[in-house]
Amino acid sequence: MFGRRGQIERREPVLGTPGFDGDLRLTADDRPTVASAPLARERASSGKARKGDAKDSAGSSKGRARGASGGGRGRGRKRGLISRLLYWGVVLGLWGVIAVGGLIFYEASQLPPIQNLAIPERPPTVIIQGADGKAIATRGEMGGANVPLRALPPYLPQAFVAIEDRRFYAHFGLDPLGLARAVVVNLTAGRLREGGSTLTQQLAKNLFLTQERTLSRKIQELILSIWLETKYSKNEILELYMNRVYFGAGAYGVEAAAQRYFGKSARQVTLSEAAMLAGLVKSPSSLAPTRNLDGAQARAEVVLAAMRDAGFISGEMQQAALARPATLAKGQGPDSTGYVADWVMEQLKSIVGPITQDIIVQTTIEPSLQAAADRALKDTLAKSGKKFGVEQGAVVVMDTDGGVRALVGGRSYEESQFNRAITAKRQPGSSFKPFVYLTAMERGLTPESVREDAPIQIKGWKPENFSKDYRGPVELKTALAFSLNTVAVRLALEVGPEEVIKTAHRLGITSKLEPNASIALGTSEVSLLEMASAYAPFANGGIGITPHVIERVRDKSGTVLHAYAQPSRGMVMAPPHVAMMNRMMQDVLVVGTARRADLPGWPAAGKTGTSQDYRDAWFLGYTGRFVAGVWLGNDDASPTKKAGGSGLPVDIWSQVMKAAHKDMPPVALPGAGTYLPGGTVPPGEVPDEPVVTGGPQPATRSAPKPGLDNWLMEKLFGRS
């Protein structure tokens, strides 16, 4: 039990020895006795010695224990927080994916089934030509023919890719890199400077969706973009895009834009022109070179730089294009052709029905005469409009068969599309008097018939002459030449206002006219086109005409869909009366209110007109070839600064008619020949009179018994 030197010896039980009964517990004999006391004392003394050391180290041990315990708990909390964030991040991410997937599924369900989707047919284009067969305007939702990508110079589609979608050939309809770049650029700039839409997305929007900016539309745009990418090749998508996008100034598609701005096909544009076209799609309305050439050129420089960065062009090509920037083509038709084009489109529906294919409309418009009329109106208003308080005007020129050769509906189509030649109705003033005098001629009077020029009062209404002077007994030709109001009113009462209205309607006036004595002074409103139409029988010998501008309509294969064949309205005026009226209205230009008319070598006739307070100034004049009408005034019907029919309208008429008759041999007026009446011209210019209105409307009286000329009319045309 004890080893050497009194040390306690460990005993291991020995199994299988004699007297072993299997019990391994120690007995009392096996436990240490007094002999082990020295060891106990040794342990006790060593214990006392270690006690102080234990006390010294107790504090530090406890501190280490606390520190170790606290650090573990802190690290545990951090690990728990990160774990929870990761967990919920994954959970929320999964729910987000589910939500986005559900939203995409919902928006996709709002679209037509993918298997039924197809590129919409390109809307038809209407090409409007002048009488010479050259295009003067284009209309339709697209406004230009479709051009294959292979037919274009390579730098034209490259310009679109460089500035609109540099990674077009690398993405699948959605460009994450481009979108991220746009976000960074916009955040850095603090404003929207760059978009993230691809060309495919823009095409999807233009083909299938609206322009509204909503999340729903954007999601549908992405869905359709991916569908386009799977359905069509990149070049097919680019071709569709270039032929559908809007370029400003009413031009849809690259062909229409090239024709509109450069007067050439997109197949022939230069590099600088290609850069300008590509630059317009960012903001077509504000960058259109017709209104902002400097802005369009500056944007083209940006496009050229993008093409150089993309490796599409060399530095030398870039510099050459910068040295010769694109400009608008010279010789472009006046913007007043827009009034013609609008009028044509209004009539097409009734002529050919719904337009389902590209068509070509040949008109009666003479481009050179259209330009002359546009220039005459613009120049006159620019020079004298402010002086006379006139802001607007209109011009109509037609041949004696009713074909409209020029039509200007205002001083600027770009500023106002309201057509003052056709749609506006204004008081014609004294230019209406020929219908009164014709009615009198048809009832037996002649140009030499005499009536009294003296004050007249009709139930409180006192029409006066412009000069406030009265001549007493005067011949009718003198009364018309000098536009004497009192004589015109007396004639209207003599023949009956209702008869005057019948005459006006028979000759071509279509507006409603009021049957009162003031009808003689042109108080009922009419349009300029109506007045020109009603004057045409004076110029052509008494034949009624229907004004028209469409000569022929063809489809793109050349098949004629419509040809003008308006049946003649027949004679609306007997030849003797035509002769008498032409003699009297020739006097207006020779000795009367339109002496400023300047058309050397040509017998001409016409009548001036000025409405009350100088609100409207008119001149209708004609030769044996053409009829032209001019109106000046303000859209709000405010008075002008004494702008009468004998002034600016006559000047404009003279300029236009000189252009119309250039290189034509003179012809006589029907029945009047080259009659140049004599007579003494009063000193000073004789201005046209303003209409005097107001007061009670006089009662009408029955017409006198027809004379010889009216008897002839009855025999010829069956009228009384």
Q: Which residues are catalytic?
A: 164, 430
The two tokens of residue 595 are 């002496």
Q: How far is CA 450 from CA 444, 446, 478, 704, in A?
A: 12, 9, 9, 15
Q: Which residues contact 631 (CB under 8 A, 6 or more apart)?
A: 393, 394, 420, 421, 424, 426, 528, 616, 617, 618, 649
Q: What is the DSSP string of 553-573?
A: EEETT--EEEE--PPP--BSS
Q: How far is CA 651 from CA 596, 597, 598, 631, in A?
A: 7, 7, 8, 12
The two tokens of residue 574 are 């007997």
Beta-bridge mates of residue 395: 408, 630
Q: 278 with 302: CB under 8 angstroms?
A: no
Q: How far is CA 636 from CA 307, 614, 616, in A?
A: 51, 13, 11
Distance CA 569, CA 677 (A): 32
H or E element, residue 412:
none
Specify the amino acid at residue 299. Answer: R
Distance CA 446, CA 441 (A): 6
H or E element, residue 253:
none
Distance CA 382, CA 191 (A): 42
Distance CA 282, CA 277 (A): 10
- Within 13 Å of residue 644, how many CA atoms lie on the same side as its CB? 18
Distance CA 710, CA 8 (A): 169
Q: What is the 3-state secondary structure (H, E, C) of 227-249?
A: HHHHHCCHHHHHHHHHCCCECCC
Phi/psi at 675 (5° precision): -55, 120
